[in-house]
């Protein structure tokens, strides 16, 4: 029964997550950016733009200029999350195969990454409550999002340190879902909390501010080449005005 519910939940979550983000990317792609509005100084070549975007996504360059506290907490959370997600590949892949052998090498870092994630999230949450300017701009969903991520992290770490789960069975469950075979899911509370919240996260992702993840790549102030004089830039609807 439990297995059935979570099987359906994860199919729905995966479809919504992947499909939703794909549709959103398609939408952003199809909307033109009719005017050259890169925030200058801006790169004058495409390669330069790639490099600028890389610095934003990997190093949070603008955020670093802006506010060191948010940068530290944001970096801890995102870097932690990245490592944790990569570490979790062990539950979905055959780690003996050559393509996935690297998943084994990440395992020791996963734990520290988990704590880093929580430290970052905790810092961001405290900031949102304590700093008047940030409190002013926060809606309930902003607090709830952080709390949800924190609970995911806490429940995950609990399974490592407090209450072990049969992770072999968990792996069999998920690997089974990928080929439409249904193996039983252990009925442990931390596991179920963890999985439920992750599913919810996946479902709300394409409807929430988490869209900043694909969004940043489409931000005209960051992804446009500064060459308006050298090359005429004109959107289809603007060109129509000239007809």
The phi and psi torsions of 200 (rounded to 5 degrees) equal: -60, -45
Least distance (Å) from another protein to the CB of residue 223? 9
**Rounded CA gap, 204 and 11, in Å?**
14
Q: Fill in the per-residue mask, 223 to 242: x = in contact with another protein (CB under 8 A), - = not in contact.
A: ---x-xxx-xxxx-xx--x-
Options 24-32, 95-103, 169-177, 181-189: segment touching another protein (CB under 8 A): 24-32
Q: Which two tokens stand for residue 219?
A: 């931000």
Q: E strands of the chain, at which residues?
A: none
CA distance 82 to 60: 14
Q: How far apart are CA 90 and CA 38, in angstroms?
A: 41
Q: List, in order, residues 6 or more apart from 131 with CB less than 8 Å away.
A: none
For another protein, the binding residue among 15, 22, 23, 27 (CB under 8 A) is 27
Do the beta carbons of residue 122 and residue 116 sit within 8 Å?
A: no
> Cβ 155 to another protein, closest distance in Å?
23
- Least Å distance, CB 17 to another protein, is 15
Task: Provide the token pair at 31.
Answer: 């909307």
Q: Is there binding between residue 31 and another protein (CB under 8 A)? A: yes
Relative orientation angle of helices 140-161 and 102-130, to the nearest 10 degrees = 140
Minimum separation from the CB atom of position 50 to another protein (A): 15
Query: Does the footprint of another protein cover residue 134 (CB under 8 A)?
Result: yes
**Binding string, 191-230, against another protein, x = CB under 8 A?**
----------------xxx-xx--xx-xxxxx---x-xxx
In the complex, the residues that contact another protein under the rule CB under 8 A are 27-28, 31-37, 39-44, 56, 60, 62-63, 65-67, 70, 74, 124, 127-128, 131-134, 136-142, 144, 207-209, 211-212, 215-216, 218-222, 226, 228-230, 232-235, 237-238, 241
């Amino acid at each position: 029964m439990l297995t059935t519910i979570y099987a359906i939940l994860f199919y729905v979550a995966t479809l919504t997550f992947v499909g939703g983000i794909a549709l959103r990317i398609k939408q952003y792609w199809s909307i033109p950016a009719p005017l050259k509005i890169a925030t200058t100084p801006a790169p004058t070549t495409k390669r330069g733009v790639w490099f600028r975007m890389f610095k934003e996504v990997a190093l949070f360059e603008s955020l670093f200029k802006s506010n060191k506290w948010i940068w530290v907490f944001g970096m801890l959370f995102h870097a932690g999350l990245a490592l944790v997600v990569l570490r979790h590949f062990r539950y979905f892949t055959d780690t003996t195969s050559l393509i996935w052998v690297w998943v084994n090498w990440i395992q020791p870092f996963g734990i520290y990454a988990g704590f880093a994630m929580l430290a970052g999230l905790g810092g961001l949450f405290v900031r949102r409550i304590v700093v008047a300017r940030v409190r002013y701009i926060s809606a309930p969903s902003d607090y709830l999002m952080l709390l949800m991520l924190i609970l995911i992290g806490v429940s995950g770490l609990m399974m490592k340190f407090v209450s072990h789960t049969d992770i072999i069975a968990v792996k069999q469950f998920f690997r089974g879902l990928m080929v439409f075979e249904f193996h039983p899911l252990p009925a442990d509370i931390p596991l179920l909390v963890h999985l439920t919240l992750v599913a919810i996260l996946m479902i709300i992702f394409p409807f929430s501010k988490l869209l900043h993840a694909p969004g940043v790549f489409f931000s005209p102030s960051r992804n446009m080449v500064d060459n308006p004089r050298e090359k005429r830039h004109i959107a289809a609807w603007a060109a129509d005005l000239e007809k």
